[in-house]
Amino acid sequence: MDEGKFIVLEGIDGSGTSTQGPLLVKYLFEKLKKNVPVLSREPTELSSYGRELRRRLEGRLLPGEEVIHDPVYWVSLFFNDRKWHVDNVITPSLKIGLQVISDRYKLSTIAYQSAQGASMDDLIKIHDRLPVPDLTLLLDVSAEIALTRRGRDQHRTQEYFESLETQRKVRNQYLLAAQQLSSSEKIVIIDASKSIEDIAKAIQQEVNKLYGYK
């Protein structure tokens, strides 16, 4: 049995990864005429690390817990959650031939936690033994446009990394990281300032190349 392919959607908050994930699932399902692809995301909400991350991102601390700003602590939570995700969702699904799409993966840690002050080289190195995506699509958009989009959703409160200043830094780190990793893996930068439909089409073109479709 052929293994499935592993596709990752990346970008700053509000770049549109949650919008594009389901559209890509639908496209691949109709195109491959096989099982529905697995759509997963990080942080997972499935591991204890992922649940702690969600709480900390939203500022929901347990009694006695303090806000932690040290990037080392954040890296350990994101990385342990990712290992859990790889061992329990990504690798088992790929092995039985399912296509896997992940909304965020290692490039998120490399971009966000280097923006927090961790060394990009070290962040790249810790991921050496984890599966390399077959394709990473980096939805690139300015922090200002992304903020406007998020602002339209009145129900959201600002999460830990969502200030405009942080998001500007993260965008730069994403572009640097994509450049740095481009000799060893396939990362495609998509102009995410366009409409939802145009972005979906650009993603489909890259995915068609990956599967050898015209």
Question: Rule CB under 6 A: which residues touch ligand TYD?
Answer: 13, 42-43, 57, 78, 104, 108-109, 112-113, 159, 161
Neighbours of 144 (CB within 10 A): 11
Answer whether 40's CB lies under 8 Å from 89's CB: yes
Strand partners, 103: 9, 41
Q: Does 14 bind ligand ADP (CB under 6 A)?
A: yes
DSSP annotation of 194 reads S
Answer whether 104's CB lies under 8 Å from 9's CB: yes
How far, in Å, are 99, 151, 188, 197 from residue 145 at the CA level? Answer: 31, 10, 20, 17
Of these, 75, 199, 202, 207, which contacts ligand ADP (CB under 6 A)? 199
Of these, 8, 15, 112, 170, which contacts ligand ADP (CB under 6 A)? 15
Amino acid 77 reads L
Size of the site for ligand ADP (CB under 6 A): 15
Choosing among ligand TYD, ligand ADP, none, which partner's interface includes residue 42 (Cβ < 5 to 8 Å by kind)? ligand TYD
Q: Does 162 bind ligand ADP (CB under 6 A)?
A: no
Q: Does 102 bind ligand ADP (CB under 6 A)?
A: no
The residue ranges that bind ligand ADP (CB under 6 A) are 11, 13-19, 149-150, 152-153, 195-196, 199
